[in-house]
Structure 1
């Protein structure tokens, strides 16, 4: 196409050809940029090559490790193991790994792994990001060679094979064939489960009271005779389905809040298709958070709203709250951020997948389809814990012949969503790579917003073992806000730490309060100054919300038919079922 002046418009054919080629390559590599991997290895190798002292140190470390192995083998390889698996590595939990020769094979593998951990510590001049990526790739390669992956070198598999007469291997072969057929035909393997969305999961009673192209708004039915006048609006992440916050009735955070006398609304995001390719990050604020807030304040008029955001939902809630503060919109009674980041300089292991080459690769792949496939994001998260989420699963399924264990959170974890191309690109670049939100460069409607403008009290929660939103990163919101703030650090990971209902065994947390204008306290000092408490953090949050709320009164009606917000469908609505 050309303009009346003869200027060409739209993408140049050569550019389109380039993007088409890159999109095809991205599909063949599963979205991983080979250029980013090559650049990391080159950076690491060239700097190591010019460091003879470092090379000698690594050679000495290797010799010491082999000396330890030799002494271990000479002692019968049955006790005083010199190398220990990482706490999250469960591949060697079986008692058979303590007996030779399995113990020696295990220790040899761990010795090599230990050497690579040492070798990939960044040599002087090497990009720390590249060194971390090399370490990650080395671990991925080593995991393939782990003795736990072989029938003949894994005592657990051998024991099961002898006990079952090989039936486990036959069942494993059936599972492998079923998975290969499912991948080839792009159809999910049918898994029998007692957990069904709308029946045993996401089953807190309620009604969909608003729907647009991005989300459905669910209002939950009251469970108490009286409720606090200020409603709670839950903004979940749109990377996965919302019902991580509404699993079974016994461990549903939403159901718990309703039972504590709160009127709760929750957003259920659409699962994007190609039609959503041009949906922007700001659309999730305007047509998402702000549209939901407008609906809630229409149904419950003349009341402020407690906003609660989980993960990515907490980030967009923070952006919305800062924008509202700039514009003098005071409808938020409080803000709760659950495992949500506002600063991304320490954004955790997910940064291993992010640099200019990798993001450009993803953008080309999304340009082809208009969205990021569910498997791309889920696969990245699995790769961060490949020893457990990939290889241990493969051993159980293909060699022990076991079916997937039936857990509520496992069913939810398999229920991934797609990402609109434009939104995902803007999120990765503007927040993760450029960290605009906390550095004073994130603009809404052409004007920069500031988190320090937020005046509503905040309740912020991090989890101890979060590899998606590390708690040190979540804690950084204390650097960029001046309002009253309560910070809680709880046991568990990104999902398990949130699903921490009262009565959950082995749970603990720390809690601290910051007055407005108080001096900054670094995260490690905060950790050391706040004692660990046993139990769930949920009652702490419910009490905090109650303290920011008015006296209980009669529950509001479901929806607002006269205002154009009639109840539409029973909870959990229709968007949660989209595949």
Structure 2
């Protein structure tokens, strides 16, 4: 072979390699397409009531909008002239940029979806972005100016309008996403094939339902690198496993601490890794710690209600902890719905004359649901009736329904952003423990779901006339043990002002209220070592929430040490550390137990 032949041979070899790669990719696409069809065919018929509001909402909105426009046609004319004027302006500026090559003037606030420089410098992408932003603003104004809607309808319409706007973002489509197009070119289409693989894998994992993975599940194993604090399951019934954690100090406070996490999620949010583990930190402060790990229910739990959680869950766990430790009282903690139900339990205990709980701590726990906030779209009769049909069919509220609902509250971050990275960019989801936990959901029993939604969320009985449970009428004012409540400043699930209103109504003489910076999870899982989020305190709970915050004192750093100081005063003398299990309650298995990993068939 001569030197003159070498370039041609190299080119031919490269072309042959590219052809082989294309052939292999086409074969992968064909196989994936078959799997995609198979996955979609396994999808259960959709519950249309859970996919959007009833037609009456849109009818009322349209009637309100056109009624206003008929009475004031100048407003419609002005809005249309402004919209089309801006559209023409954007088009003309794009034409000028094509000729002159000058970047377009930037409008509006920064949006991280449009961080690629091409959104600013390329006439096509810049026009697409600016027109999308104009359309989004036009929709927002139309909803805002519908004057005859009540507050609930306006909130719902705002929510659904925002979902449409977020869904139609140009970043969600391959032809208008410069990041995805650049990566497709750079990888010679490999990123698109990997994206299809990710899509098919997600559909197969969720029985044909579209639920994008947020984390790389293969990177985590419960008991190894998440939920790995040393402890033992010392009791089990059909509702929960009770974990007693190994002591890390020679002595512990006499009064044990019992934590009730939510059963909407799993308890190991408090034990993701040693650096931010609330469980590990509590044992290091010298406490005998017990944590409830709730069962992930299947259809056989359809008749389990709120009363079952109180009697067979909360009261039974309190009884067992007292027996194991030989103490007459426990200090109890309730997180989210676990805190709401701890309130119900304490109210019932007051009626029964049961003084087994010395103090109660509530993490982001609602008891007054008078302001439904961001959950307004999901707490109206049409949606709740859809939930009722769902649980009647399956016996449970399936975990993916709850996960999808919560994700839509932050759809840009929890749905569309991850979907773009996974399906259009072909990226593997990150190995992020918090997102792994977020995707590890649980089912909810049918009867409990409807009682919680109807009695508490919709009718707000616990804070008003009282809720009938376990043979008693319970009211938040019945909660009389010393209380420490921790809420989070930017929590969209349990807003701190709503939590504050509930604490105000409690009958306890000793009430401490703390507001942590950040949201529902990060504000609670906020170890002192991180020196990240501060917190607010104010000993006076006499005014409304705004007045409380106005006079509150801000403290740098985590609220954990402040709470521990409060808890220490109610935890008794120091005694020798307790080893998990005893003759009456031997170790059944190591922590984190079996319930946390069990996955029912639905």
Determine if contact 2:261/2:293 at 8 Å carries over to the other structure: yes
1:60 corresponds to which of 42, 53, 78: 78
Q: Deviation of residue 68 (structure 1)?
A: 5.7
1:161 corresponds to which of 184, 189, 201: 184
Match of 2:590 in 1: 570
Query: Following the alignment from structure 1 to structure 2, what is the Cα–Cα distance between the partners of residues 54 and 496?
Result: 48
Q: Deviation of residue 43 (structure 1)?
A: 1.7
2:137 corresponds to which of 114, 117, 120: 114
Write the mapping of 1:282-321 to structure 2, written as runs, cut at 5 A: 282-321=307-346
SS in 2 for 1:51: helix
The 1:287–1:82 alpha-carbon spacing in structure 2 relative to 1, beyond 3 Å, is: same
Q: Deviation of residue 497 (structure 1)?
A: 2.0
How many pairs align?
Answer: 545
Match of 1:469 in 2: 494
Q: Deviation of residue 55 (structure 1)?
A: 6.4
Determine if contact 2:234/2:243 at 8 Å carries over to the other structure: yes
2:546 corresponds to which of 496, 507, 524: 524
Determine if contact 1:346/1:472 at 8 Å carries over to the other structure: no
Write the mapping of 1:223-234 to structure 2, written as runs, cut at 5 A: 223-234=248-259
1:170 corresponds to which of 186, 190, 193: 193
1:47 corresponds to which of 64, 78, 85: 64
Match of 2:230 in 1: 205
The 1:342–1:58 alpha-carbon spacing in structure 2 relative to 1, beyond 3 Å, is: farther
| Cα-to-partner distance string for 1:264-310 (whole Å, 9 max, x where unaligned) | 11000001011101011111011000000001111122342111111
2:297 corresponds to which of 260, 268, 272: 272
Match of 1:255 in 2: 280
- Residue 358 of structure 2 corresponds to residue 326 of structure 1: no
1:244 corresponds to which of 263, 269, 281: 269
Aligned-pair Cα RMSD in Å: 2.6
SS in 1 for 2:574: coil
Query: Following the alignment from structure 2 to structure 1, what is the Cα–Cα distance between the partners of residues 304 and 542?
Result: 38
The 1:31–1:428 alpha-carbon spacing in structure 2 relative to 1, beyond 3 Å, is: farther
Determine if contact 1:325/1:453 at 8 Å carries over to the other structure: yes
- Residue 45 of structure 2 corresponds to residue 28 of structure 1: yes
SS in 2 for 1:28: coil
Query: Following the alignment from structure 2 to structure 1, what is the Cα–Cα distance between the partners of residues 272 and 322?
Result: 27
Determine if contact 1:233/1:308 at 8 Å carries over to the other structure: yes
Write the mapping of 1:283-432 to structure 2, written as runs, cut at 5 A: 283-432=308-457
SS in 1 for 2:176: coil
Write the mapping of 1:73-112 to structure 2, written as runs, cut at 5 A: 74=93, 78=103, 81-84=106-109, 90-101=112-123, 102-112=125-135
Q: Deviation of residue 203 (structure 1)?
A: 1.1
Larger helix proportion of the pair? 2
Gap regions ≥5 residues in structure 1: 1-25
Q: Deviation of residue 79 (structure 1)?
A: 6.8
Q: Deviation of residue 80 (structure 1)?
A: 6.0
Match of 2:533 in 1: 507
Bigger shift: 499-508 or 282-291? 499-508
Q: Deviation of residue 165 (structure 1)?
A: 3.4
Bigger shift: 315-324 or 449-458? 449-458
The 1:80–1:338 alpha-carbon spacing in structure 2 relative to 1, beyond 3 Å, is: farther
The 1:194–1:355 alpha-carbon spacing in structure 2 relative to 1, beyond 3 Å, is: same
Gap regions ≥5 residues in structure 2: 1-42
- Residue 523 of structure 2 corresponds to residue 494 of structure 1: no
SS in 2 for 1:359: helix
Query: Following the alignment from structure 1 to structure 2, what is the Cα–Cα distance between the partners of residues 307 and 256?
Result: 17
Query: Following the alignment from structure 1 to structure 2, what is the Cα–Cα distance between the partners of residues 278 and 249?
Result: 38
Query: Following the alignment from structure 2 to structure 1, what is the Cα–Cα distance between the partners of residues 531 and 114?
Result: 24
The 1:183–1:502 alpha-carbon spacing in structure 2 relative to 1, beyond 3 Å, is: same
Query: Following the alignment from structure 2 to structure 1, what is the Cα–Cα distance between the partners of residues 45 and 208?
Result: 16
Query: Following the alignment from structure 1 to structure 2, what is the Cα–Cα distance between the partners of residues 315 and 416?
Result: 19
Determine if contact 1:30/1:376 at 8 Å carries over to the other structure: no
Bigger shift: 470-479 or 198-207? 470-479
Match of 2:152 in 1: 129
TM-score in terms of structure 2 length: 0.84
SS in 2 for 1:462: strand
SS in 2 for 1:532: strand
Query: Following the alignment from structure 2 to structure 1, what is the Cα–Cα distance between the partners of residues 268 and 51?
Result: 36
| Cα-to-partner distance string for 1:330-361 (whole Å, 9 max, x where unaligned) | 22221111111001122332231122222222
The 1:522–1:415 alpha-carbon spacing in structure 2 relative to 1, beyond 3 Å, is: same
Determine if contact 1:273/1:371 at 8 Å carries over to the other structure: yes
Match of 1:179 in 2: 202
Match of 2:503 in 1: 478
1:458 corresponds to which of 467, 476, 483: 483
Q: Deviation of residue 263 (structure 1)?
A: 1.0
Query: Following the alignment from structure 1 to structure 2, what is the Cα–Cα distance between the partners of residues 83 and 27?
Result: 42
Query: Following the alignment from structure 1 to structure 2, what is the Cα–Cα distance between the partners of residues 438 and 65?
Result: 47
SS in 2 for 1:367: helix
Determine if contact 1:462/1:489 at 8 Å carries over to the other structure: yes
Query: Following the alignment from structure 1 to structure 2, what is the Cα–Cα distance between the partners of residues 422 and 94?
Result: 49
Query: Following the alignment from structure 2 to structure 1, what is the Cα–Cα distance between the partners of residues 52 and 416?
Result: 26
SS in 1 for 2:404: helix
Match of 1:221 in 2: 246
Bigger shift: 300-309 or 285-294? 300-309
| Cα-to-partner distance string for 1:114-167 (whole Å, 9 max, x where unaligned) | 222222237344232222222222222222321111233223223323433333
Determine if contact 1:91/1:388 at 8 Å carries over to the other structure: no
Determine if contact 1:347/1:473 at 8 Å carries over to the other structure: no
The 1:84–1:209 alpha-carbon spacing in structure 2 relative to 1, beyond 3 Å, is: same
Query: Following the alignment from structure 1 to structure 2, what is the Cα–Cα distance between the partners of residues 62 and 544?
Result: 60
